[in-house]
Amino acid sequence: MKARHGVYLLLGLCCTLAAGPVQAFDEEAASSALQVARRKLTRTAEEVPLGQYPKSSEPDGTWLLVPADNRVGWTQGFFPGELWLIYDQSREPDWRTLAETWTRPLEVQQYNTETHDLGFKFMPSYGLAYELTNDDYYRQVLLRAAGSLASRYNPRVGIISCCDWNPDWHLPMVSDTMMNLELLLWASRNGGQPGWRDMALNHALRTLADIVRPDGSTYHVVDYDPDTGAQLFRGTFQGYSDTSTWARGHAWVIYGFTMVYRYTRDPRMLEAAQRVTDYYLGRLPEDTVPNWDLDAPIPQKDSSTAAAVASALLELSNYVPDADKKAVYWNAALRMLDALSSPAYLDTEDTSPGILLHAVGHLPAGQEVDVSLIYGDYYFLEAIRRFQRSGIWSSQPGFAAGTRTLGSGNTGVQVAEFDVMPRAQTLDGVIGHADSSARVTSRSEFALSLRLSPAGVFDAYDGTRYAATNAVPYEANAIYHVRILADLPAGRYSVWIKPPSGPEVLLADRFAFRSSAPVTDDLGQLTLKSTAAGEFWVVGHTLRPAPGARPAE
């Protein structure tokens, strides 16, 4: 079967839905959130002076700003990162221009050796810029920044010292540094020194040994004697107490171990990511947005933590080998995104310059409490990007909203495969393929159609009517694998469906293309149409030529 990862995710979603009514973040919610983001980012780019970077919302509806050349500040990379994410989603040239305009002033940071936060500054900005443009200018700046970060590595202890500004610390390691390791790992793969990878892995292993507690909870800070490596202090700086777990620091560790595994495939990193994730998920409230500290009696939600963890779990679900665990992580991420895209957290009324409400920067210091935070917004958009790349598509009530472009090269004899999950016991939904030149405004443009009929069975369109060679009933929250052989020159197609148990069944045997459809020379568009949004899901849709296939007679 194809799309096995999608099957695992749908299995988990099936279990979640079967357990009771829940909301599920879907393409419509993602699109709505992105509309809010585009409006907010456009306004910020218009109102904030170039060279100043938003950090947190102020009571008067403006941004607290950090200059591009502030060496200790760590948040300057996130606004250009958001612009790059919107450009990647839209591919509109104006967004690329904005992203480049706000990225290049950060070049001044490439020789900054005073902080560990160069990963935060450069990977959302220059990292995405290089990924999306392949402009070598961005790569060269990234390599120089990685060299600056590597200068803070202490080989005796095997860590990157986080900072120099606190006179009470000697050689401090904080959970935040796990996020900055990506700059070293990326650079070691892209023309930098190979030893930078070892630095990053050593630091991650030291984090696992000294910051992660046996139960999967975390400290925020460990301070060492730089000469002997002896521990001088373990506790917190931004959390509730030295024995508590500061939520966002824990998010950095979840995300960080996952990211280090992506680069190294070291099984210790995958095990660590799961351990700290499982602890976190076990401490979440009903709406999945955590308290600012997982142990604090002071209630204050932190949406920035939820955003970072949601993004991390969408990646982590790709790596764990156990199907049940994949589903747990994916479902948790969707519930987090569902909460963050709700009116409780997504600022659709423009009360804030930011996208998400109710985030916390540094509660013990009384700084940035119940505000919008630029980094929470960035990880929310990153999580949406990861969701959109997952290949799970939901049906829509409108033809335009439910249509995806597949390209004009799918000609000749084609094989389409995908998994489909109905989310209701009976519905009226159709999965239709049309020519790339068709203007899809009704079902009549679909040359070939697979229907989830109101009678609770699958059928397909045979020239002038829906029919089935063999009956295949469907049930809500079950997963069906679909294989379609489409002979475009002959104007005929066959459909096989494999139920959750049992063999593959021939549903449509060389059915004729719909007689009212336009001339169909390619499978260029796919439409998922239903009465209401999200009544069924399709995952892992693929098209490939079928060389040697015997044309329909």
CA dihedral 365, 370, 374, 378 (to 10 degrees): 120
Measured in degrees and rounded to the nearest 5, phi and psi for residue 113 equal -110, 15
3-state secondary structure of 252: helix
Residue 87, number of CB atoms within 10 A of its CB: 22
Q: Can you tell me whether residue 434 is helix, strand or coil?
A: strand
DSSP for residue 356: B
Q: Of 26, 117, 459, 462, which is the active-site residue?
A: 117
Calpha distance 321→305 (Å, rounded): 26
DSSP characters for 195-230?
HHHHHHHHHHHHHHHHTB-TTS-B-SEEEE-TTT--
Count of H-run helices and E-run strands, the chain? 14, 21
Collapse the DSSP code of 393 into the 3-class scheme (helix H, G, I; strand E, B; otherwise coil) and give the result: strand
Tell me if 459 sits within 8 A of 451, measured CB to CB. Answer: yes
Strands 231-235 and 221-224: antiparallel
Q: Is 117 a catalytic residue?
A: yes
* Cβ burial 316-338 (10 Å sphere, 16+ → b, else e): bbbbbeeeebbbbbbbbbbbbbb
> Nearest-5° angle of CA 104, CA 110, CA 116?
120
How far is the C-alpha of 520 from the C-alpha of 302, rounded, in Å?
52
What residues have CB less than 8 Å from 510, skipping those under 6 apart? 492, 493, 494, 552, 553
For residues 531 and 397, the answer to whether their CB atoms sit within 8 Å is yes
Task: Spell out the SS3 assignment of 138-152.
Answer: HHHHHHHHHHHHHCC
Nearest CA to 77 out of 46, 118, 26 is that of: 118
Q: Looking at this protein, which amino acid is placed at residue 276?
A: V
Q: Which of 26, 60, 168, 176 is catalytic?
A: 176
CA angle 241/55/61 to nearest 5° reads 110
For residue 517, give both structure tokens. 């459809």
Q: Which of 143, 144, 141, 153 is nearest to 177 (CA)?
A: 153
Distance between CA 320 and CA 329 in Å, rounded?
Answer: 9
Annotated catalytic sites, by residue?
117, 176
